[in-house]
């Protein structure tokens, strides 16, 4: 069923039908009702391609995912974020176009998406320090919002981020308050902006409390269970082992927990484990709580906010960058997570 067919059916011109359907004010109320009824009855849907060509708007948002960033695509956080975006797009009649590219082709992918003109804007995932994509997109003149920020980038840009620095400062203070002095940090890859900020937050709190940061007790890498296990095992074997672990992910925390047990220590009794596995900043212990459940709604909310911001920018043809900084919520688990340091 095309617009033309519908128009013929009604004895109207395609123009009028188009106007009626798209809410133009000059249409007679009765006509509009007739048109709406007919469209409904015949299950009419305007052809997207034609609409796009005629209006010049793609009604789609692009997400480019470099595949070699393993911790990105596989991360459940990513899936939930995407789900949040999708909700908003669906509401507003936008499509979500995902492009999966090998790492090296990322720049080309953006350029291609741009010149093919099949999206009206983009969401940038997993910003790194000095991330080149931001300058590229700015230069290309395509509206975009970054999920996260990129330290080192001078050009202004729009972003939605959680206050990672502060979240880790508070987590560290929390452990210090329990009496811990040798606190280990199991971080994500510090090329990633979020991980760099978390480390900064950690170091800041340590410095303020007059605690020494032992480089041997800081590790950065893929946030897997194996990472937590290996790192914790090595640290616990040192002459001055840590009494508390702060990790960037629940998976790492589970690995840490296993290493602690393997060393004959009781997590939550002799060793503290605290983790932050949520881009909206929940802090919880890594033991009794189910994996991947507490973090999900908040990450999805971040996705919604990114999407909403971008769609608003597009609708208003706005160029001025916007920001949204979400504060972390401190949630502390009970059973086998944090504990006071033993005398």
Task: Sort 252 into a burial class: Cβ within 10 Å, 0-12 / 13-18 / 19+.
Answer: buried
- Smallest gap from Cβ 68 to a copy of itself, in A, equals 10
Contact status: 289 vs a copy of itself (CB under 8 A) = yes
> Using CB under 7 A, which of the segments 6-14, 88-96, 158-166, 224-232 binds DNA?
6-14
Contact status: 239 vs DNA (CB under 7 A) = no
Contact status: 65 vs a copy of itself (CB under 8 A) = yes
Smallest CA-to-CA distance from 158 within 3, 313, 13, 16 is with 313
Residue choice 226, 234, 315, 332 for contact with a copy of itself (CB under 8 A) = 226
Q: For 64, how many CA atoms within 13 A lie in the half-sphere containing its CB? A: 27
Residue 60's alpha-carbon distances to 3, 56, 92, 303, in angstroms, are 22, 12, 10, 16
- In terms of phi and psi (left: phi > 0; alpha: psi -120 to 50; beta: otherwise), the region of 108 is alpha
Smallest CA-to-CA distance from 257 within 336, 203, 167 is with 336
Contact status: 182 vs DNA (CB under 7 A) = no
Contact status: 18 vs a copy of itself (CB under 8 A) = no
φ and ψ of 74, to 5 deg: -80, -15
- Smallest gap from Cβ 126 to a copy of itself, in A, equals 13
Contact status: 247 vs DNA (CB under 7 A) = no
Residue choice 16, 18, 75, 248 for contact with a copy of itself (CB under 8 A) = 75
> Using CB under 8 A, which of the segments 46-54, 129-137, 204-212, 311-319 binds a copy of itself?
46-54
The residue whose two tokens read 């804007």 is 121
Total of chain residues touching a copy of itself, rule CB under 8 A: 57
The smaller minimum CB distance to a copy of itself, of residues 26 and 103, is found at 103
Smallest CA-to-CA distance from 147 within 125, 163, 130, 115 is with 125
Smallest CA-to-CA distance from 115 within 141, 138, 95, 134 is with 141
Site for DNA in 16-55 (CB under 7 A): 16, 18-19, 21-22, 25-31, 46-47, 50-51, 53-55
Binding-site ranges for DNA (CB under 7 A): 2-4, 11-16, 18-19, 21-22, 25-31, 46-47, 50-51, 53-56
């Amino acid at each position: 069923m095309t617009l033309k067919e519908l128009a013929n059916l009604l004895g109207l011109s395609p123009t009028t039908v188009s106007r009626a359907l798209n809410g133009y004010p000059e249409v007679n109320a009765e006509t509009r009702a007739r048109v709406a009824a007919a469209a409904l009855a015949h299950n009419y849907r305007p052809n997207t391609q034609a609409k796009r060509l005629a209006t010049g708007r793609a009604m789609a948002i692009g997400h480019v995912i470099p595949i070699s960033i393993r911790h990105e695509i596989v991360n459940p956080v990513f899936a939930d974020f995407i789900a949040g975006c999708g909700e908003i797009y669906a509401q507003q009649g936008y499509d979500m176009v995902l492009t999966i590219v090998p790492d090296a082709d990322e720049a080309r992918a953006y350029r291609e998406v741009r010149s093919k003109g099949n999206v009206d804007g983009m969401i940038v995932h997993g910003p790194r320090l000095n991330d080149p994509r931001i300058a590229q997109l700015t230069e290309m003149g395509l509206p975009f919002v970054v999920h996260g920020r990129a330290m080192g980038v001078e050009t202004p840009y729009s972003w939605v981020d959680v206050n990672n620095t502060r979240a880790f400062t508070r987590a560290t203070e929390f452990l210090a308050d329990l009496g811990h002095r040798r606190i280990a940090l199991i971080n994500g890859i510090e090329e990633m902006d979020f991980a760099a900020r978390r480390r900064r937050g950690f170091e800041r709190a340590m410095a303020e409390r007059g605690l020494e940061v032992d480089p041997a007790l800081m590790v950065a890498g893929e946030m897997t269970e194996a990472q937590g296990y290996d790192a914790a095992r090595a640290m616990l074997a040192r002459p001055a082992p840590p009494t508390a672990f702060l990790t960037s992910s629940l998976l790492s925390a589970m690995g840490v927990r296993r290493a602690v047990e393997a060393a004959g220590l009781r997590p939550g009794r002799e060793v503290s484990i605290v983790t932050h596995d949520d881009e909206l900043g929940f802090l919880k212990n890594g033991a009794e709580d189910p994996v991947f459940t507490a973090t999900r709604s908040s990450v999805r909310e971040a996705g919604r906010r990114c999407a909403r911001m971008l769609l608003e920018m597009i609708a208003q043809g706005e160029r001025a960058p916007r920001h949204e900084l979400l504060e972390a919520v401190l949630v502390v688990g009970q059973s086998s997570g944090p504990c006071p340091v033993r005398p």
